[in-house]
Structure 1
Amino acid sequence: MTASPGAETLARLAALLDRQDILDALTRFSRGMDRFDRELFLSAFHSDATIAAGDFVGGPVELFDWSRAMHEAGQIATQHNLLNLTVDVDGDTAHTELYYLFAARNRDESNWIAGGRYLDRLTRRDGLWRIMLRTTVIEWSGMVPTMPIPFADVPGIHGNGKPSRSAEDPSYRRPLINLREPNIPA
């Protein structure tokens, strides 16, 4: 007979589920921005959230519109990479510190990177964790020498789909399947 989990184990499991739900919300922000997926992006925030990012201070709808216009004008691709995460949960409020690495391929073919931290206050409403306040701490920035994108000259390299800042990106395909022919390079 298997023993039931104790109160301490159940509390740890609840804390782990909260942490995962919080990480999922933070990830929706990044993926939504990089794929220009408005619905996904907005699902990371409560509608009455406030965000302070660069010279922008406002709500999530305005942030998406401002960010998309800025990224479309300046870059052909962006990646908001999420790194170290600390989470401090107190009831239905959580504070997080999330390190990020931003990388972009600019329209002039240069490459820009920046690093910093997202400081967030999230709240749980109706069982859902979402960002209520975000402030961005930018700690460094620089340009990376431009080099050819690896394998760009391989015939059929995009047979499984070309990268896209839309729902046309192969990451949205369900089920994900391989459309390329077998090939073992010599």
Structure 2
Amino acid sequence: MTAAELEQRVVRLEALEAIRDLDARYCRALDDGDWATLVSLFTVDGEFVGLSRAQGHDRLRAFFAGLADSGLTAFWHHVTNLEIELEGPDVARARSFLWQPCVQDGVPHIAAGRYTDRLRRDGGVWRYLSKQVSFDYFVPLTDGWDHGRFTVAAAAATYPGRQFA
């Protein structure tokens, strides 16, 4: 292996690890309500698509800070099975699995789904261009997850163009 090949491999591994770290910081900032840190993880024109769509730092901050107003008062994001595709030195895509215990309108819920991210290295730092969540289920914990697929209208709406029975 040449020095150039080794350098290329190290650069790739550093990018992969930085993207994994970005997801960890996203979960921690979201769960802690640290909106300034959370918004800084997105590019200036970055967007979140899920329960709603918010683009740009001001709208992202308003959306995330407003979750409690919609009854979602506590959540704990657990992200795993991260798959990262580097599409160039400064562009990547990632997919991951989300498992999320939460409290909606005072009732414990359980949710699970997938994140699909587009990322860009911005000023040497990886940030989200787009972070999209699609839920597989979002239900009261007492109901069990298997009977509650898509019972929360907002979660079902995160599947654009998909028809539900």
Superposition TM-score tier, normalisation by shorter sequence: 0.7 to 0.9
Deviation at 1:64, TM superposition (A): 2.8
Pair 43,73 (structure 1): closer, same or farther in 2 beyond 3 Å:
same
Deviation at 1:68, TM superposition (A): 2.2
Task: Encode CA deviations 1:102-156: one digit per residue, 9 max, x unaligned.
Answer: 2113452x2111111111111112211100122222222222139xxxxxxxxxx
Distance 1:75 1:88 in 2: 32
SS at match of 2:67: helix
**Counterpart amino acid of 1:52?**
V
Structure (1 or 2) with the larger CA radius of gyration:
1
Q: Is the 8 A contact 2:35 2:65 kept in 1?
A: no
Structure 1's unaligned 5+ residue stretches are: 147-186
**Counterpart amino acid of 1:100?**
L
2:38 is the alignment partner of 1:26: no
Deviation at 1:87, TM superposition (A): 0.6
**Counterpart amino acid of 2:124?**
G
2:74 is the alignment partner of 1:105: no
Structure 2's unaligned 5+ residue stretches are: 144-165
Distance 1:95 1:13 in 2: 19
Distance 1:115 1:61 in 2: 27
The structure 2 residue matched to 1:136, chosen from 133, 154, 164, is 133
Deviation at 1:55, TM superposition (A): 2.8
SS at match of 1:54: coil
TM-score relative to the length of structure 1: 0.67
**Counterpart amino acid of 2:46?**
A
Distance 1:62 1:45 in 2: 12
TM-score relative to the length of structure 2: 0.75
Distance 2:39 2:60 in 1: 9
**Counterpart amino acid of 1:126?**
G
Pair 61,122 (structure 1): closer, same or farther in 2 beyond 3 Å:
same
Deviates more, 1:96-105 or 1:67-76: 67-76
Q: Is the 8 A contact 2:27 2:77 kept in 1?
A: yes
Q: Is the 8 A contact 1:46 1:130 kept in 2?
A: yes
Q: Which residue of 2 aligns with 1:78?
A: 75
Pair 61,30 (structure 1): closer, same or farther in 2 beyond 3 Å:
farther
Q: Which residue of 1 aligns with 2:45?
A: 48
